[in-house]
Amino acid sequence: MTGPRYPALIKALPETVPFVGPEVQERAQGFPFKARLGANESMFGPSPFAVAAMQDEIAEIWKYADSAHLDLKGALAARNACTPQNILIGEGIDGLLGYTVRLLVDQGDAVVTSDGAYPTFNYHVAGFGGVLHKVPYKDDREDILALFDKAAEVDAKIVYLANPDNPMGTWYDGKTIEAALDRLPEGCVFALDEAYIEFAPQGTAPKIDPQDPRVLRFRTFSKAYGMAGARIGYVLGAAETIKAFDKIRNHFGMNRPAMAGALAALADDAWLTEVLRLVDAARKDIARIAKDNGLTTLPSATNFVAVDCGQDGDFARKVLAALLAQGIFVRMPFVAPQDRCIRISAGRPEDMALLAEALPKALETARNS
C-alpha cells in the first residue's frame, strides 16, 4: 500500500505555517487569552449594517455566491475611480497573494521582498518554487529604492512592499511611491499591499492609473472594516491582468453572506470613521503605556504599534513570552534589528487596561531572567 507521490518541490518544503494562530497557542498553554492584541484584527467589530446584511443572507446560504462578484466590484469601482474590470475579489489578501504568485512565478523565477516583511507572501513564493531575494529595512522602513534596484539586478517577476508596513507600522507618502516607480524594471510587477491604508494619513495612497500594468494594489475588509473572519480582499489592477486571474482563481471560493456584509460595510462611512477614531485613541494609549514603562514606540499608520523594548531580540522575546504567560496575546517582528520590538494591536479600553497591568510585570520577568 502506498501513499501520495509528492513533487520534489513539495517534499523539500518545511512543514510550517507563516503564523501560529492565537487559538493554537491557547490550546498549547491550556487557557484562553485575556486580551487578543496580536493579530491586528479590529476588536471594534464590523458595521452593524454589515452584521445585519450577513444575517439576512444566511437563509440564502444554499446558493453559491455570484462568481463574477459584480455588485461588490461595482461599489468598489465607484470608490476607487476605476471600472469593475479593474478589480479582483478573493479570499483575503493572503489568498490573493497566492493567486498572484501562481499567475506570475514559475519555478526558479526571482521575487524580491524585504527581510522581515509579511511572511505569508514568502510562504506562497516558496510554495510555487520562486526564488526569494531579500533587502534589509532602512530606518525601520522597507527600502523601496533598494527593492527596485534588487529587482533589476536579479530580473525579478514581482517586488512586494506593504505600505503602511507590517510589522513596523511605518509608511511612505504616496508621492514617494509614485516617483520610485520609474526605477521598477521592465517586466516586473509591483505588488503593493495596502491592507492598512484606511488608517494612514491622507496622501499615503499613491495616485496610480488603474490601467498601469506594472502595479497590483491589494486591499482588504479584514482590518478597518472589522471582517477578518469573512476573508474578503480585493486587487486593483489593469483590466488585462485582472482578467488573467480567471485562468487560476477559485471562481466559487467566496462566502455569500460575507460578500453581502462587505457591500453593506462599504456604505457605512460613519462606522468606519468611528473605528478610525477608536484606533487612534488606542494607539495613543499604547504609546502612553510604553512611556510609563520607560519604552518608546514607532510612529504608526496602522491599527497596531511597534513598541521598542530597548534591547535586542532575545530580550524582546522574553517580554513577549512573559506577556503570553499572563494571557496577553501579542506578536513581534522576526528579523533583527526590528525584532527589538513587540507589536501590539489597537484594542478596547478594557484591553488597554490589561496591557497596562501586564507590561511592567513582563519587563521585570525579562530583566530578571
Indicate whether 177 and 325 sit together in one domain: no
Residue 133: count of CB within 10 angstroms of its CB: 17
| Domain limits for position 322 | 18-45+270-368
Is 85 a member of any domain? yes
Is 80 a member of any domain? yes
Is 1 a member of any domain? no
Indicate whether 190 and 263 sit together in one domain: yes
Summary mean pLDDT of the chain:
97
Q: How many residues does the chain have?
A: 369
Indicate whether 221 and 144 sit together in one domain: yes
- CB-based contact 77:219 (threshold 8 Å): no
Indicate whether 341 and 357 sit together in one domain: yes
pLDDT score, position 208: 98
Last residue of a domain, one of 232, 267, 302: 267
Is 13 a member of any domain? no
Indicate whether 140 and 260 sit together in one domain: yes
For every residue of 150-203, DSSP letters joined together read HHHHHT-SEEEEESS-TTT-----HHHHHHHGGGSPTT-EEEEE-TTGGGSPTT
Is 228 a member of any domain? yes
Indicate whether 99 and 188 sit together in one domain: yes
Is 9 a member of any domain? no
Contacts of 72 by beta carbon, 8 Å cutoff, 6+ apart:
89, 234, 259, 262, 263, 266
Cα-based angle 25, 31, 35 (whole degrees, multiple of 5)? 75
Indicate whether 208 and 61 sit together in one domain: yes
pLDDT score, position 16: 83
Residue 192 phi, psi (nearest 5): -100, 105
- Could you report the per-residue pLDDT of 150-169, keeping only the tens digit for each? 999 999 999 999 999 999 99
State the average pLDDT over residues 133-157.
98
Residue 42's pLDDT band, with cuts at 50, 70 and 90, is very high
pLDDT score, position 15: 87
pLDDT score, position 31: 94
Is 11 a member of any domain? no
Supply the CATH number for residue 116's domain: 3.40.640.10
Is 347 a member of any domain? yes
Last residue of a domain, one of 224, 241, 267: 267
pTM above 0.95, yes or no: yes
Give the integer Cα–Cα distance in Å for 339 and 333.
5
Last residue of a domain, one of 247, 267, 287: 267
Contacts of 155 by beta carbon, 8 Å cutoff, 6+ apart:
110, 185, 187
Indicate whether 339 and 220 sit together in one domain: no
Domain total in the chain: 2
Q: Is residue 19 scored above 90 in pLDDT?
A: no
pLDDT score, position 128: 97
